[in-house]
Amino acid sequence: MPERSLRRFFVERIDPDATVCRVAGQEAKHIRKVLRMGVGQPLLLVDEVGRRVIGRIASVSPQEVQVLVETLLSPAAAPLVETVLCQAVLKSQRMDWLIQKTTELGVRRIVPFFSERTVVDLYGEKTESKIRRWREIARMATTQCDGDRPPVIEPPLTFAELLARYRDEAALKGILWEKTIGLANLKDILRPNAASPRRFIGMVGPEGGFSEREIEEAAACGFVPLGLGRRILRAETAGMMLVGIVQYEWGDLGEAADRQRQTAGTDATDG
């Protein structure tokens, strides 16, 4: 059964030795209530590390959908570029919106962080439920846009933890700063490196922006301060544009969809 013809749904983890997989949450609700799929119907499951199985619905209940595994597929083709968005935590709807839009654009990893001027503070159970919510939004957006797999949404870091995490990372790194008058802009650093892109790590500030000290500290860790023109964009607009531009210049946004589907389809026959 060609993988391309199947509806795909996302689960946190697929046990490669399992004969039955469990779909829960909004994905299960989508199968049951929206698509009204029933026992015996085939579908494709994908997990956060790209494992993929073809299976058939074995049972449907209000809590979950059980899927009988038939075929373990090879992981989908690796993306042309791994775009990582480090986003200062924004107020609720803005962060939800940004996660949804950047997922549609093909972001592979979202790393929320707290900076000096972050106005949102998360702690304890609230953080856990936020991360669950963000991951659910990413899963649903991936289902809607027929993406290969949801981006990894990491637990929030402090600014210092974020810099320590990526300081020695061999990737093109940029920090969006609206005060970069006369400094590099995104086009300047993407175009010359188009031949050998693999990983772009972009950082976007909170509603109140970055302090000069944060910009200096990030630059000392290899994050090039980058401009997106003279207008001051909302943080969520800037984050979306960053991912969109990188995905267009280096990723598959600039590619003809049919060519991508053909390449994606060639691995569908893998057993």
CB closest to ligand SAM, residue no? 205
| Strands 82-88 and 109-114, bridge-based pairing | parallel
User: Which C-beta is closer to ligand SAM: that of 9 or that of 166?
Assistant: 166
Instruction: Cite the beta strand spans of the chain per DSSP E.
Output: 8-10, 20-24, 42-46, 52-60, 64-73, 82-88, 109-114, 152-153, 157-158, 172-176, 199-204, 224-226
Decide if 71 contacts 244 (C-beta within 8 A): no
Residue 228: CB minimum distance to ligand SAM, A: 4
Distance CA 250, CA 190 (A): 8
Contacting positions for ligand SAM (CB under 6 A): 176-178, 204-205, 207-210, 227-229, 231-235, 238
User: Which C-beta is closer to ligand SAM: that of 87 or that of 142?
Assistant: 87
Residue 10: CB minimum distance to ligand SAM, A: 29
Residue 226: CB minimum distance to ligand SAM, A: 6
User: Which C-beta is closer to ligand SAM: that of 114 or that of 210?
Assistant: 210
Decide if 68 contacts 58 (C-beta within 8 A): yes
User: Which C-beta is closer to ligand SAM: that of 156 or that of 205?
Assistant: 205
User: Which C-beta is closer to ligand SAM: that of 46 or that of 99?
Assistant: 99
Distance CA 195, CA 193 (A): 6
Residue 189: CB minimum distance to ligand SAM, A: 13
Distance CA 258, CA 262 (A): 6
Distance CA 125, CA 180 (A): 38
Residue 154: CB minimum distance to ligand SAM, A: 19
